[in-house]
Amino acid sequence: MGEVKTTIVLPVYADQQNLDRILAELWGNSPGDSWEIIVIDDGSPQPLDLTPIGSDRLSLIRHETRQGSARARNAGVKQARGEFIVFLSVFLKIPQNYMSQISSFIDNQTFDVAQHLLVKEPGLTADHFQAFLVDQRDRVYIQKGNTPIKNTQFAAAIIKKTTFDEVNGFDDNMNHYGGHELDLAYRLNQKGYSKRILVDNLPLERTKLESHDSVRDRLQQYGRVGLPALLKKHPEIKPTILPYPAIWTFLKMFGLSRLIEKRLARHIEQDWELPKKKYRLYLHLIVRNAWDAR
């Protein structure tokens, strides 16, 4: 195997079907050998199988118990030989010319972190809430030339391995949902790695959607566990994550925060089409009310 330019790190839990699909899509790309794929089986009850594709450019790391995205991604980067790391998620659809476009992007752009926008796969049925969640074009934006720390995500992102290693990667102690991505973005920013850009004209399509109940459960877990861990480590970013304390105190005093959350939840369950600002408010209320109740 020749020199590796790009390593794709792909954590997977109990999803053989989508793993088979995304590997086939990646293998349908450039026949060159300047990239590799590292799959991390993060404790799947039935061990994942890579036998349909055999190559020295494909390797598997197996965790016997589920350890979370932070540790899974760190394990993949530790074994990576590429100069650049591409974090991908198993639920994404990979276009046929993906690797050549990524290679061109890396050669022609200057960045510390680059991330894809995620959009819905055409033909995938979504209710109004799911349609809002899956299409990031209205939710991830550029501020002073860069994506804000709060909008920096690693479901589909590129970073130089030396940069990742310099800040010691994701925090292994954040092995619960939420916090480890924002923590990494913040630490990169503190080290001067603040050039966070979008991968131009190459959104990636999601092949499956989360239900309202699943999203709510994950955000409640984040509010109870992930966010407290993050703010214990970085208390100075609390005003960014939990803004407008005076307004929030007023809402909480009269029970309005819970009331508004329940009302919006009811509208979402009835599949009302709400303004985007109300969906954003609802997501914030879930986290913040869970934070208060921890």
What are the two backbone dihedrals, phi and then psi, of residue 197, each rounded to the nearest 5 degrees?
A: -125, 170
User: Cα separation of 258 and 147, whole Å?
Assistant: 31
| Cα Rg, the chain, nearest whole Å | 20
User: Cα separation of 125 and 121, whole Å?
Assistant: 9
pLDDT tens digits, one per residue of 118-131: 999 998 999 999 99
DSSP E strands, the chain: 6-12, 35-42, 58-63, 84-87, 92-93, 113-115, 118-120, 157-160, 196-198, 204-206
Provide CATH code, domain 6-206. 3.90.550.10
User: Cα separation of 91 and 204, whole Å?
Assistant: 10
Contacts of 223 (CB under 8 A, 6+ apart): 286, 287, 288, 289, 290, 291, 293, 294
pLDDT on residue 52? 61
Strand order in the sheet with 118-120: 92-93, 204-206, 118-120
Contacts of 233 (CB under 8 A, 6+ apart): 171, 183
Reported as a pLDDT band with limits 50, 70 and 90, residue 2 is low
So where are the chain's domains?
6-206, 212-293
Question: With contact defined as beta carbons under 8 Å apart, do 74 and 169 qualify?
Answer: yes
pLDDT tens digits, one per residue of 61-96: 999 999 999 999 999 999 999 999 999 999 999 998
Instruction: Count other Cβ atoms within 10 Å, centred on residue 36.
Output: 21
pTM more than 0.85: yes
| Residue 256, token pair as written in the block | 């309005």
What are the two backbone dihedrals, phi and then psi, of residue 228, each rounded to the nearest 5 degrees?
A: -60, -40
What are the two backbone dihedrals, phi and then psi, of residue 58, each rounded to the nearest 5 degrees?
A: -130, 125
pLDDT on residue 178? 82
| Residue 198, token pair as written in the block | 């979008």
DSSP alpha helices (H): ranges in 55-140?
A: 69-79, 98-108, 128-134
What are the two backbone dihedrals, phi and then psi, of residue 204, each rounded to the nearest 5 degrees?
A: -110, 140
pLDDT on residue 217? 97
One-letter amino acid identity for 137? Answer: R
pLDDT on residue 166? 98
Reported as a pLDDT band with limits 50, 70 and 90, residue 54 is low
Query: What is the helix, strand, coil percentage profile of the chain, to 5?
Result: 45, 15, 40
Going from the C-alpha of 254 to that of each of 176, 247, 249, 251, 257, the distances in angstroms are 32, 11, 9, 6, 8
pLDDT tens digits, one per residue of 235-245: 999 998 999 99
Given a cut of 70, whether residue 1 has pLDDT beyond it is no
DSSP 224: I
One-letter amino acid identity for 92? Answer: L
